[in-house]
Amino acid sequence: MSTIAAWVEGRLAPVDKLDAHRRGLRHPAVSVFVMRGDETLLQRRALCKYHTPGLWANACCTHPHWGERAAPCAERRLAEELGITGLRLRHRDRVEYRADVGDGLVEHEVVDIFTAEADPELRLRPDPSEVMETRWITLAALEQEIARAPGNFTPWLRIYLARHRATIFGDNVSG
């Protein structure tokens, strides 16, 4: 596991990522939505992930390493997880949520959310240890799928769409 920042006794401190989730510590995170017109890129988390394996999430969700800033972290993880480089990230919001992610683990995150517009010819090269599948979907179709089968999607993706849709997607909100 890697070392991330978490608030411990009122200050940021380096903490093992798994320990932060076991203790439900509030910690910084990053989420990226890659858009292609009115479609967003989803990834299905690899089955070997220590929480929420096999669930659909937005393009990239991660934790900055201790001392790492949000935007460079987002760029790094897009490359590591999906083989995506060179997109212009746009910071959309910072939100906080707390969610049970199973097996006694809790995500209590303060998330910097970014969007990026992809070229129609964008080539994905997913790392199979991170991502088992990808797909593009319109926001309207995604919301319909979540309504039908919420258990197929990560808690944070459901929270983002339910509480922060307009802030994240701005002009891409339709339907």
Dig out the tokens for 137 from the structure.
């979907």
Is 169 contained in some domain? no
Secondary structure of residue 157 in the 3-state scheme:
helix
Is 103 contained in some domain? yes
- Tell me how far apart the alpha carbons of residues 137 and 35 are, in angstroms, rounded to a whole number: 9
What total number of domains does the chain contain? 1
The closest alpha carbon to 33, from 74, 65, 70, belongs to 74
Is 152 contained in some domain? yes
Give, for 83, the enclosing helix (H) or strand (E): none
Residues annotated as catalytic (active site), given as ranges: 61, 109
- Tell me how far apart the alpha carbons of residues 154 and 75 are, in angstroms, rounded to a whole number: 21
Beta-sheet strands, E only, within 103-153: 105-117, 131-138
Tell me the pLDDT of the chain (175 aa) as tens digits: 589 999 998 899 999 999 999 999 999 999 999 999 999 999 999 999 989 999 999 999 999 998 999 999 999 999 999 999 999 999 999 999 999 998 899 999 999 999 999 999 999 999 999 999 999 999 999 999 999 999 999 999 999 999 999 999 985 554 4
Q: Domain range for residue 29? A: 3-164
* Residue 58 CB contacts under 8 Å (≥ 6 apart), including other chains: 31, 32, 33, 40, 41, 42, 43, 156, 157, 160
The closest alpha carbon to 160, from 101, 62, 93, belongs to 93
pLDDT at 172: 53
CATH number of the domain encompassing residue 27:
3.90.79.10
